[in-house]
Amino acid sequence: MNRLLLVLLLSLTASAELVLEITQSAKQPIKIAVLQKDANTAIGEDIINVIRSDLQRTGEFTVLGSSELLSVPSNESEVIQRDWLLLDVDSIIFVEVVQEDLSLNIDYSIFDVSYKQVEERRKVLGIPDSIRQSSHYVSDGIYKHFYGIDGIASTKLMYVTKSSGIYRLIISDSDGFNEQVILKSNKSIISPAWSHDAENIAYVSFENNRAQVFVQNLASGKRDLVLSSRSSVSAPAWSPDNKYLALTSTMDGNSEIYLVEIKNKEITRLTSNLAIDTEPAWSVDGKNIIFTSDRAGSPQIYEMNVRTKLKRRLTVEGTYNARASFLNKDEIIFVHRNEGDFKIAKLNLRSRDLEILTSTQNDESPCIAPNGNVILYATKDGNTSYLAGVNISSKVKFKLPALYGELKEPSWSPFLR
């Protein structure tokens, strides 16, 4: 399918606060080159640099730089196959930028070196101010061509920074560019969550000296206190249809999970016991909620049917299992401790296989990219917390520290297309 996209993005700043460092690459990254086609323009150079950086950031590609090439073809017909086979290059991406007054279009083709043929041709239509976002769409198209999984270069991240005692809830492009401050506060902000249509966010703010859940519209900045209570309210989780928030409150004297219908604030209580019940997360179909409970003495993951409220325990291995979310229908990820460190682990609910995904020490707040294949979480090195991630299929691991201050509580946007 020849899918054409035009992206217009006006932004005030382009400063990356997040600095990516790949700590473990894929075993066999795909070797490619990204070249300009039939021209050599400054804007074309900017675009292929964004694409190269996007693909390099995945850890699943090796992108050759211009100095490493034996010959530089300006289109498919000029490719000298021998030169590229010598370098073990799988494919060459030819990128053609067509710029007019109000448009900036990117045509690209994926040329297979061994078969000497164009495998795919695509087009992204944008305007001159949308260079980065248009380039991200190209990167995502290339990623999908090779891995069959949607690319995530064009998605956004939300996270909390802390520096000089000020907390900022920030949304940025997935590569850290185009930061926008959503909420700035003297008090802690935790548990930010995107609605599934990316129009609203929910989070916990301590601005009134206790945990309260707010829903904020991203466009207008309008905020809504979800429950007015003298007790704490926290851990918001959007239902798949965006109509409900599952959350935790001590309004009845103990940490219990409730369902709040956002429109009319109607409350349904879902748990009832003397233990801690918190950190609700929805199944993909919205029929079940998984949550953390210490009803058996230590925190473990349980699942409940929203309609029947029937509950069953999911985790058995480990002395501490908490903050779970569904990766897909059959697998969940969560914070796991057996002896020693807190790690992010994955449990297959059918096979009961438990896999430790991370090799850092103090891991918390895992979130999942919208393609279901990359996990981002917060961890700590010395006294400074930063973000780190892991790609589930390729095992690529990366760090995403801030240039200054602390980074925590990541939340990945849904696809924005």
Partner 1 sequence: MKKINILILTLIFMFSCSTVPVEEVDSQQATTVDLTSDSGTSFEAASDPMSDLDIGEPYVKIYFDYDQDTLREDALSDLLKVSRLMKDNPKYTLLVEGHADERGTREYNLALSERRAKAVEDFLSVSGVSSFNVEVVGYGEEKPVDNGSNESAWSQNRRAELFFIK
Residues between 281 and 340 that touch partner 1 (CB under 8 A): 292, 294, 298-299, 320, 322-323, 335, 337
Segment near partner 1 (CB under 8 A); pick from 4-12, 18-26, 56-64, 391-399: 4-12
How many residues belong to the site for partner 1 (CB under 8 A)? Answer: 73
CB of 55 or CB of 276, closer to partner 1: 276
CB of 84 to partner 1, least distance (A): 30
State the DSSP code for 144: H
- Considering only residues 231 to 260 of the shown chain, the ones binding partner 1 according to CB under 8 A are 232, 234-235, 248, 250, 255
- Considering only residues 5 to 44 of the shown chain, the ones binding partner 1 according to CB under 8 A are 5-12
Please check whether residue 387 is in contact with residue 18, taking contact to mean a CB–CB distance below 8 angstroms: yes
**Residues in contact with 23: Cβ distance below 8 Å, sequence separation at least 6, in sequence order:** 388, 397, 398, 399
CB of 391 to partner 1, least distance (A): 23
- Considering only residues 62 to 101 of the shown chain, the ones binding partner 1 according to CB under 8 A are none
- Give the HSE-up count for residue 313: Cα atoms under 13 Å, Cβ half-sphere: 12
**One of 58, 279, 315, 343 touching partner 1 (CB under 8 A):** 279
CB of 150 or CB of 279, closer to partner 1: 279
**Residues in contact with 382: Cβ distance below 8 Å, sequence separation at least 6, in sequence order:** none
CB of 56 or CB of 320, closer to partner 1: 320
CB of 291 to partner 1, least distance (A): 10
- Considering only residues 334 to 373 of the shown chain, the ones binding partner 1 according to CB under 8 A are 335, 337, 342, 362, 364-365
Per CB under 8 A, 411 contacts partner 1? no
Residue of 278, 343, 290 whose CA lies nearest to 315: 290
State the DSSP code for 356: E
Euclidean distance between CA atoms 158 and 148, whole angstroms: 26
Q: Is the dihedral of CA 398, 69, 141, 40 positive or negative?
A: positive
CB of 365 to partner 1, least distance (A): 7
Please check whether residue 217 is in contact with residue 205, taking contact to mean a CB–CB distance below 8 angstroms: no
- Considering only residues 162 to 221 of the shown chain, the ones binding partner 1 according to CB under 8 A are 166, 171, 178, 180-188, 190-191, 198, 206-212, 214, 216, 218-221
How big is the CA angle at 57 (ends 56 and 61), to the nearest 5 degrees? 35
Determine how β-strand 354-356 pairs with β-strand 364-368.
unpaired
**One of 109, 133, 195, 288 touching partner 1 (CB under 8 A):** 133
